[in-house]
Structure 1
Amino acid sequence: MESRVGIRELRQNASSIVRRAAAGEVLDITDRGRAVARMGPLPTGGNHARMVAEGRVSPARGDLLGHQPLPAPPGRPLGAEALAALRIDER
């Protein structure tokens, strides 16, 4: 459900309007009849869920374990080999 709320009404009834938004209602805040802001519930699930809801990222598709690891570039060690070499130096 989407509603419009004027700035004056928001000032006079802020608590009840915030409760409506927290309950799931999306409210367009208007200034002289023109929408200037939107108030609604926060997405649950943290930053990733928020960015999905905003359309900034898309959820992963497929199975990560179905992909084969990329080969190391010629002349460069694999990550595990480089880490093992660093650990030898620590001892």
Structure 2
Amino acid sequence: MSAIDRLAATIEARKGADPETSWTAKLLSKGPEKCAEKFGEEAVEAIIEAVKGDREKLISEAADSLYHLLVMLAARDVTLSDVEAELDRREGRSGIEEKASRK
């Protein structure tokens, strides 16, 4: 099991936890919109570090972004497996072809 799989499982397990003792439960208790907002904030921070070129800070912000992405997905009952299935579906297709198929 990868670190991302373990993280997704931990987030899923925290759904019913006490928001006073779990940061993940606290985020989830605020609703999907707040989870999406937090993901957006972390994604912007990762973008800033990518532009600045600080490798270590980018790694840290990317980890924060992945965590908040998984929390946002969990808030809408979308699993990592759901996202992996979509990636599997797209595998082997040109990105240009895949984008054109969405219209």
Determine which structure has greater relative contact order: mean sequence separation of CA pairs < 8 Å that are 6+ residues apart, divided by chain length: 2
TM value normalised by structure 2: 0.24
TM value normalised by structure 1: 0.26
Higher fraction of helix = 2
Q: Which has the larger radius of gyration?
A: 1
